[in-house]
Structures are given as C-alpha cells and as structure tokens.
Amino acid sequence: MLALALPLLLVAGALAPSPPDGAALYTTHCASCHAPQKWGTGDGPSLRGVGMASLDFYLMTGRMPAAEPWIEIAHRDERAGQGLPLDEIRALETYLAPTVAGGPPIPQVIANGDLVHGRALFSQNCQQCHGLAGEGGDLGLLDWAPSLERTSIAQVAEAIRVGPEQMPIFGPRQLSDADLDDVASYVVHLQTSQQPDFAPFRSSGPVPEGAVAYLAIIALVAFVFTFWRVDTPAIRREEAVRRDEGEKRG
Ligand code: HEC
Ligand code: HEC
C-alpha cells in the first residue's frame, strides 16, 4: 500500500506549483537598484526600515519593480510599473519583512467610516492636490497628483502614512486611525458616486436644514424689501402723474 502511495505523493508534489521564492524574486526584480544587501544603489534608495506600508504600497500599485530608475512612475495616471502577480508580491513581502521593519506598518482600515467627516478631512488635506472629486491634478513643474479613481481603500490608507514622492506624510498626529477610516472611505465613496456632493448634505442633519430656513428668511426679506421700495418712492409717482398730465394736455 505504502509502496504505491509514496510515488503518487511525490508526483503530486512535483506537479503542484511551488510557492514563489522571495529571495529569488528579489534578486531578479529588485537587487539591481536596491542592492543585494538592500542598502540601495545610485539607482534606488535603501529599503532598510521603510516600513511594510511602503513596501506594500509600492508593490500593490505597480510602482515597483520600476522599469527605469528614478522615473516618475505615477505620471499621467498611466502606470509604467509592470506590477507583479499577487503571490509574488506576498512572497517578496515575507522575504523583506525583516529589512523594512521599523517603518509604518500596513494600516488596518475599516471601510464604513463617517463620510461627512471624511469629506471634511479630504477637503482640508487632499483636495488641493487630488482635486474636488479625486480626479487628480497638475502640481506644476511637471509634477502630477494621480487620480484616485482606481486605488483600493488599503492603498489610500497606505499612501497617507507613506507619503510617496511629493505627497506629504500624514502621521497619526495629523490623521488618527479613525480619521484614516473616514477619509479613505470617502475616497472610495467618490469612486462610486462620480460626484463630491452626496446625499448626507441633502437628507438630514440640523445644520443643512437650518441653512435652508435661513436662506428662506433672507429670500423673504429681499422680496418684501424689493416690492416695498418699488411701491413707495414718491418722486417716481409724481413723475408719472406729471407725465400723464402732459400726455392729456398734448
Ligand atoms: C530600476 C530600478 C528599480 C527597481 C528594479 C526597483 N526599484 Fe524600488 N525604487 C526605485 C527608485 C528610484 C525608488 C525611489 C522613487 C520613488 O519613491 O518612487 C524606489 C522606491 C522603492 C520603495 C520606497 C522606498 C521608501 O523610501 O519608502 C520601495 C519599498 C521599493 N522601491 C521596493 C522595490 C522592490 C520590492 C522592488 C523589486 C520588486 C523594486 N523596488 C525594484 C528603483 C527601483
Ligand atoms: C501636496 C500634494 C498632495 C497632497 C496634499 C496629497 N497627495 Fe496624495 N499624492 C500626491 C502625489 C504627487 C502622488 C503620487 C506620488 C508617487 O507616485 O510616488 C500621490 C499619490 C496618492 C495615492 C496613490 C494613488 C495611486 O494609486 O497611484 C493616493 C491613494 C493618495 N495620494 C491619496 C491622498 C490622500 C487621501 C490625501 C489626503 C489625506 C493626499 N493624497 C494628499 C500628492 C498629494
């Protein structure tokens, strides 16, 4: 029985795809720029202590492995990065975990954040570069903030903590973990709603309703005031009377 099962197991083992080897992937895809010892070269920075958030962001968005050193990969929304298959990304992450340790970890972000608060945070912290609806924009001097149309919620949270290139780093002091949930949820909301103005401002809340009442009062005052003004001026009425009289005479 065993004599029969053993060769079968060996064959099955040889046929099953072996998990990708992180060290080998690093040598093939990364070492030329980041150096075999990961301290970096003239073509790429050191990876020591950059944090898992950075490693995951650069790999998952297809920014790494870069095709050319120091080329701005995010330019014009079209990513030149090849992007590795997910299993290879995970193998590289496992292999590089001790190297990148010390930097920001991958944020644990929750998708159902507070959208109204998220929108306020977005307009304060992100809109000036990424645009009102996250459509991206020109930063001048050939710099470009990419559109947020296709990023996942995890990548939004990572970008906030990593601050790639010209994007500032937002640490937990500027944006707490709860803030991260709210603003990242709002970015994902923008992707589906196609427009920044969404229901919560129309439907409920004391502030918008108060604002509507306030506007109604202003309109009423303006209306009354306008008609009162048109009706009263004595001079105009006198003019009209005189004109009438003149016509009768003439
Ligand atoms: C052709 C050269 C090149 C190759 C190949 C390359 N990189 Fe990079 N890498 C760079 C350059 C240049 C930067 C800095 C530019 C930037 O931040 O966009 C960078 C930045 C990074 C960063 C961000 C570092 C930080 O300070 O946060 C990580 C992480 C990274 N690379 C990982 C990798 C991994 C993993 C691979 C292999 C799968 C790889 N890179 C392949 C050139 C390269
Ligand atoms: C000063 C301008 C600036 C501000 C402010 C800014 N960003 Fe960015 N952001 C950038 C630039 C530039 C990049 C591209 C960097 C790169 O490719 O390495 C970027 C990249 C990103 C990406 C990656 C998109 C992708 O998939 O390619 C996300 C997500 C992101 N930003 C979200 C945010 C959020 C959320 C905020 C507010 C909390 C924010 N950014 C604030 C300039 C900015």
Given pLDDT bands bounded at 50, 70 and 90, which one contains residue 205? very low
Q: Which residues, including other chains, have CB under 8 Å from residue 103's CB and lie 6 or more apart?
A: 49, 50, 51, 52, 53, 54
Q: How confident is the model at residue 201 (pLDDT cuts 50, 70, 90)?
A: very low
* pLDDT for position 14: 56
Question: 186 or 5, which is more confident?
Answer: 186
How far does residue 160's CA lie from ligand 1's centre (Å)? Answer: 18
Ligand 2 centroid from CA 146, angstroms: 7
Can you list the positions of beta strands (E) in the chain? 137-140, 143-145
103 confidence band (pLDDT: 50, 70, 90): very high
* Cβ neighbour number for residue 111 with a 10 Å cutoff: 11
Ligand found nearest the CA of 129: 2
- The SS3 call for residue 41 is strand
Q: What is the pTM of this model?
A: 0.77
Contact at 8 Å (CB) between 53 and 105? yes
Q: Quickly count: other Cβ atoms within 10 Å of residue 43's Cβ.
A: 13
Q: What's the CA gap between 206 and 180, in Å, rounded?
A: 25
Confidence of residue 62 (pLDDT cuts 50, 70, 90): confident
Please tell me the distance between residue 155's alpha carbon and the centre of ligand 2 in angstroms: 10
Phi-psi label, residue 72: left if phi above 0, alpha if psi -120 to 50, beta otherwise: beta
Which position has the higher pLDDT, 230 or 123? 123
Higher pLDDT, 49 or 244: 49
224 pLDDT band (50/70/90 cuts)?
low
Report the pLDDT value the prediction gives residue 57, as an integer from 0 to 100. Answer: 95
DSSP secondary structure letter of residue 104: P
CA distance 153 to 137: 20
Residue 150's pLDDT band, with cuts at 50, 70 and 90, is confident
Q: Reduced to 3 states, what is the DSSP secondary structure of residue 140?
A: strand
**What is the CA(91)–ligand 2 centre distance, in A?**
26
Answer whether residue 80 shows pLDDT above 50.
Answer: no
Does residue 233 surpass a pLDDT of 60?
A: no
Distance (Å, whole) CA 212 – CA 248: 51
Pocket of ligand 1, beta carbon within 6 A: 29-30, 32-34, 43-45, 47, 50, 54-55, 58-59, 63-66, 68-70, 92, 164-165
Ligand 1 pocket test target in 33, 41, 46 with most atoms within 8 Å of CB: 33
Nearest CA residue ID for atom 37, ligand 2: 126
Q: In terms of C-beta density within 10 A (0-12 exposed, 13-18 middle, 19 or more buried), how is residue 8 classed?
A: exposed
Question: What residues have CB less than 8 Å from 145, skipping those under 6 apart?
Answer: 129, 130, 131, 136, 137, 138, 139, 166, 167
pLDDT over 70 (residue 242): no
CA of 65 to the centre of ligand 1 (A): 6
CB 146 within 8 A of CB 61: no
Measured from the CA of 55, which atom of ligand 1 is nearest? 29
Mean pLDDT of 46-74: 85
SS3 of residue 122 by DSSP: helix
User: Which CA distances in Å does 188 have to 163, 185, 191, 193?
Assistant: 18, 5, 5, 9
Position 76 pLDDT exceeds 50:
no
CB neighbours (10 Å) of residue 229?
9
Name which residue leads in pLDDT, 93 or 15: 93
Going from the Cα of 85 to the center of ligand 1, the distance in angstroms, rounded, reads 17
> Is the confidence at residue 15, as pLDDT, over 80?
no
CA distance 166 to 75: 12
Atom of ligand 1 nearest to the CA of 165: 17
